Amino acid sequence: MKATLKYLAGIAGPSGYGSKTTAEQATRDFSNSSNSQLTAIITGATSGIGAETARVLAKRGVRIVLPARDLKKAEIVKEFIQKETPMAQIILLEIDLSSFASIQRFCAEFLSLQLPLHILVNNAGKFSQKLEFSEDKIEMTFATNYLGHFLLTELLLEKMVETAEGTGIQGRIVNVTSVVHNWVKRDQFRFSQLLNPKKYYNGTRAYAQSKLANILHAKELSRQLKARNANVTINAVHPGIVKTGIIRDHKGFITDSLYFMASKLLKSTSQGAASTCYVALSPQTEGMSGKYFADCNESHCSVLANDEIEAHKLWKGTRALIHRRFLPHVN
């Protein structure tokens, strides 16, 4: 009850920020003391909190690489950002996060630009009420929300490590997750079933499972990065319940009246992007890795999300799947 009241009142936590903090407020103490411009890749930035994250980071002087399935939508976002920040550098590249081949093409194209990479925001999210499969024959929600971002991170990680070593600026990876990861029970989280649900499909459960996987990915990769003394961090962020397309998609399982009442408690897009921007840019999060954030403060995730054995098992199974079925030539 105390946490709920704190959320509704927007009371600040230890960071000085809370649920009412906007993305601009969360990054106001950021200053780039180096001579090199930061570069960030932000997925899912054609709308919602992804677009707001791109806008605020661009306003802070960060070069934005905006991967998008629909380049026309991406162009609209680019024009909107540059109207506010005329000097913003924004690069548009095509990607479909549900397709391993498309992710490979995007990474090859980005790496060919020979740009540094300081920040990777794995933000894109999909909620599917009906059972759908990707071109790789994997359940669509899991393919897009988790597997696609796992592969994207895998293919860009060495560039981030290299950039951090060359510039002395810590690299930051942000996995956007959700509090609904708490709904997943251990017996519902089996890798083979996540790839291809053979029993009754439930869109909400599939979404929650993918968000749990995002946290476990952050936990395991953080452990590996620390072990190799790489100057790159990775954290998971719950943006809050935000007025975005994901919420509209969820309307299929709640009544209009309940949706109306719940919408009064939802965060604005700018408030929803605050935690992502805070973790990506704030000097307060320097050196923090493998953590879970909500309302711009370190928070608690589920027992299952904190399970190191489960995290390693998922990472091992995912990497084996990718390298065996889709990337046999990658070491």
Q: Is 68 helix (H, G, I), strand (E, B) or coil?
A: strand
Report the alpha-carbon distance of residue 54 to residue 277 in Å, rounded: 9
The DSSP result for 192-258, as a single string, is: HHHHS--S---HHHHHHHHHHHHHHHHHHHHHHHHHTT-SEEEEEEE--SBSSHHHHHGGGGS-HHH
Q: Is 280 helix (H, G, I), strand (E, B) or coil?
A: helix
Report the alpha-carbon distance of residue 306 to residue 220 in Å, rounded: 10
Report the alpha-carbon distance of residue 300 to residue 179 in Å, rounded: 10
Query: Catalytic residue among 7, 17, 146, 200, which?
Result: 200
User: Which residue's structure tokens are 């690489």?
Assistant: 65
Nearest to 53 by CA among 23, 15, 74: 23
Structural element, H or E, at residue 173: strand 171-176
Instruction: Give the residues across from 152 on adjacent strands.
Output: none
- DSSP state letter for 301: -
Burial of 181 by CB count in 10 Å (0-12 exposed, 13-18 middle, 19+ buried)? buried
Ramachandran bin of 66, using left for φ above 0, alpha for ψ from -120 to 50, beta for the remaining angles: beta
Report the alpha-carbon distance of residue 323 to residue 320 in Å, rounded: 5
278 classed as catalytic: no
Could you list the active site residues? 200
